Structure formats: C-alpha cells, structure tokens
Structure 1
Amino acid sequence: MNLSELSIKEIRMAIEKMDEVPKDFLQSLKEDQRAGVQALARQMEAAIARQEKLAAMWTEMTHFERTLRARGHVHLFGVDEVGRGPLAGPVVACAVCLPEDFYLPGLNDSKKVPVATREAFYEVIMRDAQAVGIGIVDAARIDAINILQATKEAMKCAIDNAGFVPDACLIDAVQIDGLICEQVPIIGGDAKSISIAAASIVAKVTRDRMMAEYANEYPEYGFEKHAGYGTAEHLAAIARFGPTPIHRMTFTGVKEQA
C-alpha cells in the first residue's frame, strides 16, 4: 500500500478494516510528512498500548483459573455478590462458569466499569458463559439472619441455580458452608479473577434492574438513582415518608425511622 497515493480519509478507512495494524504499516504512518497522517499514527500507537495493557491485565486476572485448570479442574465458578451496603433492596449473588477460551478485555470489578460498558459486558457474559446462576435474598431475610449470612446464602443459591456442580469455586472474600467442591476465597477477587469479575457484572446489572423496578413501585425514594444506598437524598426520603417493605429495618439510617 503506497500511503502517498492515499488521502487521509482513505488511510483512516483502511485502518478501520484491519483486525491488527502491522508494525511496518504503523512505521510508514509515522514517516509520512502529513500532519493528519502522523496524528493517525499517534492514535494507533495509543490504541495498541491500550490493547497491550488490557491483554496483560487479562493474563494477570486469569492466574487463579489457569492454576486450577492445571490441576485438572474443568468447570470453574466465579461467585460474587452485590448489595451488602444498601439500606434497601436485596443482596444479589451470581455464579458464572466461563469457557476456557473466553476473552473480554476490560472485564473488571463491576464498580470500576462504566454503566454502558457494564451493560454490554453483561450481554456478552450471558451469551457466552457455560452457566449462570442467580441468588437473591430479600430485606426481611437480611434482617432475620444478618447481612454476612444473607450474602453467603445468596451465593449458595446462585451456585445451586447454575445448573451443574462445579469442580471449584472462586469466591470474592468469603467461604461458604456446605459446598462439596474446592473453594478459593480471594479478598478483592472481583479485581483479581475474570470469573469473579464476570459474576460481579451480572450481579450488579441484575440488582440495578431490580431497584429500577422498585423505583416504579416507590417513586418517592429515587431507587433508580442510588440503588438503595444511603445517599443524602435517600435518607431524606426515609425521614419524610418512612421505610418501605424493601428497607432493611436493622440498618442504621432505617431503624431510627421504623
């Protein structure tokens, strides 16, 4: 390809058709004297650097999965929950089994992923995962058994609902009683394991959608904005209107108004 015979627009269109930019092509872009072409070269270098960073992050976040597979484990579940801290709504857990060749660069702890990207990742995970299980424990049950036990109960339900028994579970932070498979509790696991990160994405999107539905039922509280967390707006609504049936009556910020 003779770059000197192509317009900047034509070069940009050629780049868009490439799955991977060859090094010699990138070098030719950098050597072209046109400012617009050199700008394209800088953009391509930045994009390549981002992809290399994401690939390195992926390698790091598959360490636990690779280690378990090297020991003969095949079906690995990542398990995570969302909703320990809110004053209202359920705690939602997810168990996800990803195929060995799964690749979704940028997958991370759901709190570190922008909303639009999180929604897109959710669709990919739901489409490509070998299994997905969801566990939901409501506010009344949380009040009855405490949030830690409710979290473990939601996780156990998610594993049971995934459809088959895993060889091992990678779990964010906690250990679950009653599992017959190997458990690998990882503190901060949603940022250290792709399986747990995938579970955190699905759990987060699932819970956020539930809270948006609750917002239709209880429009005064703004659940679609804060998902039940103790924002100033939410606390003011509780003080004005009182708790709803989905509020956690044992939590500070709610129990004072009950």
Structure 2
Amino acid sequence: MRKISSEKLEQELARLERMKEYERKYEGYSIVCGIDEAGRGPLAGPVVAAAAVLPKDATILWLNDSKKLSEKRREELFQEIQEKAVTYGVGVVSPAVIDEINILQATYEAMRQAVSALSSEPDILLNDAVIIPGIDEKKQVKIIKGDAKSVSIAAASILAKVTRDRMMGEYDKLYPEYGFAQHKGYGTKAHMDAIREFGVCPIHRRSFLTKMDLK
C-alpha cells in the first residue's frame, strides 16, 4: 500500500463513509449488490458489466467511479476488490450481439449475466442509472451517477472497466493496426483514420458505424 499521511487517510475514510450512503440505507438486507457497465459508447469491442457484493465492514481505500481513477489505480483496486468481495460476477456481450439487439439491450443482457454469475443471490441490487428488465424490479434501486455515490457500484465499475480494457489489449494484438490498446475502441481521430484506411474488423460494431462519415 502506498504511504499516506494521517490527514489524507482521515479525508479518504470520510469520503468512503459518504459513499456508503446507500449501503447504510439498505443495511437490513444481507446481500447488497452493486452493478455497473463499461463500453456502451465505443465503436468496437464488447460491452461488459459487473456485479459486486462487498463485506459490510469492507474498507477499500481510493474506491471510486472507475472513470475518475488512473489505469494503475484501477488495476490495483481490481485485485483488491476480487480478494475482498463476498462474491462478484462479470457479463460480456459481443459486438455481433450488440449489432443484433442494440446496445441498450446488450447492456441489460451483460448485467443479467453478471448477476447470474454471483455465487449468492442478492437481496437488493444497486444499479448505476438503470432498471434491468428480466429481474424483479422490487429488488432494484436505480441510482443516477451511482458509481460515484455507492461503494458497491464503484467496485462493479472497476471490475467491468478493467476486464474490458484487458480484453481490448488482447484484441490489439490481433488487430494492431487499429490501436485498440490506446483508445479501447472509442471513436478517436486515430481510430477513425484507421477504419478509413483498413476498413472494419471483426470486433467493430457495424450498427455504430453506419451513421459515421468514413469518407
């Protein structure tokens, strides 16, 4: 663990305590599960969702919305979350299925997969901004910007983001001309230029590219 002053430690513990607002609200439930996704917006690669159940007394320093963390910090937290979680699950839906059923439905499917992968059935689901079809709505709580407001959702966001980033790193080895390791499939100028030069590859979401100006 990195060295931290007592003052910064106090500040960090206070921040984490604020992020346990929803976990405290539903502390009467035995298994409180956070759910989030990564990869709804990119032009290539899968959408990945994760579900995470943390111990009620867990303290994971620097736990936060994955988008607010450096890659190095995410990797460190990814390992710690896996080690400390009561249970966690990950769901992955391919670009081909995204093209077939659309990104929103694919995201829901990835979330259902993640929940199904848990070793214990959750009593309550804390979701980042969605209600998942196919799961009892009475068990779901929709929290806008939940990955910055709930430690459980933040943990899920890190699991989903790191899993997807690692997958895009592997795809980069298969299709090095596109630079997937750098932009993770998002529509950067470098990515768009590569598509114009090399065309699409098997992990591109063709439904996302139909409206793009590739001339």
Shorter-chain TM-score range: over 0.9
How high is the TM-score relative to the length of structure 2?
0.94
- Work out which of the residue numbers 67, 70, 92 in structure 1 matches 2:25: 67
Q: In the alignment, what sits opposite 2:37?
A: 81
- Work out which of the residue numbers 204, 209, 212 in structure 1 matches 2:166: 209
SS in 2 for 1:118: helix
SS in 2 for 1:85: coil
Provide the rounded CA distance (Å) in 2 between the counterparts of 1:105 and 1:128: 12
**Code of the aligned partner of 2:85:** A
RMSD across aligned C-alpha pairs, in angstroms? 1.7
Provide the rounded CA distance (Å) in 2 between the counterparts of 1:245 and 1:255: 17
Write out per-residue CA displacement over residues 42-88 of structure 1, whole angstroms, 9 at most, x where no aligned residue. xx8xx23322221111111001001101xx20101100000001000
Matches within 5 A, 1:1-258: 47-69=5-27, 72-180=28-136, 182-252=139-209
SS in 2 for 1:196: helix
Share of identical aligned residues, percent? 51
* Larger helix share, 1 or 2: 1
User: Shift in Å at residue 124 of structure 1?
Assistant: 0.5
Structure number with greater CO (CA < 8 Å, separation at least 6) is: 2
Is contact 1:230-1:253 (8 Å) kept?
no
Is contact 1:92-1:135 (8 Å) kept?
yes
Is contact 1:96-1:129 (8 Å) kept?
yes
Is contact 1:249-1:255 (8 Å) kept?
no
SS in 2 for 1:134: strand
User: Shift in Å at residue 252 of structure 1?
Assistant: 3.9
Q: Could you list the runs of 4 or more consecutive aligned residues of structure 1 that deviate by over 3 angstroms after TM superposition?
A: 252-257
Q: In the alignment, what sits opposite 1:38?
A: none
How high is the TM-score relative to the length of structure 1?
0.79
List runs of 5+ in structure 2 lacking aligned partners.
none
Is contact 1:95-1:158 (8 Å) kept?
yes
Q: How many residues align?
A: 212
List runs of 5+ in structure 1 lacking aligned partners.
1-15, 17-43
Is contact 1:63-1:193 (8 Å) kept?
yes
Structure with larger Rg: 1
Write out per-residue CA displacement over residues 158-188 of structure 1, whole angstroms, 9 at most, x where no aligned residue. 0011122100000000001122361011110
User: Shift in Å at residue 208 of structure 1?
Assistant: 0.5
